[in-house]
Amino acid sequence: MTVCIPIFYQVFYVVIPTISLVGNSSVVYVTIRSRTLRSACNIFIALISLGDAVHTFAHFTMIALYYTSVVLFYFWP
């Protein structure tokens, strides 16, 4: 049985994680490159952004597995 995802959600599942990766990567990049942003608080924020970027890869993995017909869970959106 094939589960159909509406086109709006398909676009949503690609656009939002992409924006998240770009934003989180830019926070990490700016924190590394700027000497004035190397305080303990800013490094903590950069590490949280890095963790969020790693977590975002799970969304791309889910999309890739969905379109290659590998089903992890039957009712996973």
pLDDT at 62 (0 to 100): 76
Nearest 10 degrees: CA dihedral of 9, 13, 18, 23? 90
- The tens place of each residue's pLDDT in the chain, 77 residues long, gives 456 778 888 888 889 989 999 999 999 999 999 999 999 999 999 999 999 999 988 877 877 777 776 555 565 55
Distance CA(20)–CA(65), nearest Å, equals 20
Distance CA(53)–CA(18), nearest Å, equals 10
3-state secondary structure of 26: helix
Residue type, 45: I
pLDDT at 61 (0 to 100): 80
pLDDT at 58 (0 to 100): 81
Q: Which residue has the tokens 């017909």?
A: 69
Domains of the chain, by residue range, sit at 10-57
Q: pTM for the full model?
A: 0.71
Distance CA(63)–CA(67), nearest Å, equals 6
pLDDT at 35 (0 to 100): 94
